[in-house]
Amino acid sequence: MNQILCAASRDFRATWKTLLITDLFYKFISFLVFSSVVGIAFRTMLSLSGRAVLADEDILYFLLEPIGWVSVIVVGAISLGILAFEQTALMGVLQANIMIPKN
């Protein structure tokens, strides 16, 4: 167990700058993509429900309708996809550090 922690600590010290840049890049991209896609999806679902605007408790009633459930599922799937891509990129950075021969 101690060897695993030492190896993980060593790998983190060797790649923390790259990990930080990758993490910030994916957070920035996910903000841009997520905010625009969520806005488009919500507007589309709202127009499919036949309403122009929602206020206060209308939002709750909208989310309790079938089209509201679909919009929650779509937004959740998009956010999970972005999170999966971010984690894949971070794991790729760590794997590249392991695969590069040390001098």
The reported pLDDT for the residue numbered 74 is 83
Specify the higher pLDDT residue, 42 or 24.
24
Nearest-angstrom CA–CA distance, 94 and 19: 8
Greater model confidence, 1 or 26: 26
Mean pLDDT of the chain: 83
3-state secondary structure of 91: helix
Domains of the chain, residue spans: 2-99
Q: Which residue has better confidence, 84 or 56?
A: 84
The C-alpha atoms of residue 65 and residue 71 are separated, in whole angstroms, by 10
Considering the entire predicted model, what is its pTM? 0.66
Amino acid making up residue 69:
W
Q: How many CA atoms lie within 13 A of 19 on its CB side?
A: 13
For 49-70, the pLDDT digits (tens) are 777 777 778 788 888 888 888 8
- CA dihedral over 23, 24, 29, 34, signed as positive or negative: positive
- 87-103 pLDDT, tens per residue? 898 888 888 887 876 65
Instruction: Give the position of tokens 């507007």.
Output: 43
**What pLDDT is recorded for position 101?**
65
Q: Give the model's pLDDT for residue 103.
A: 56
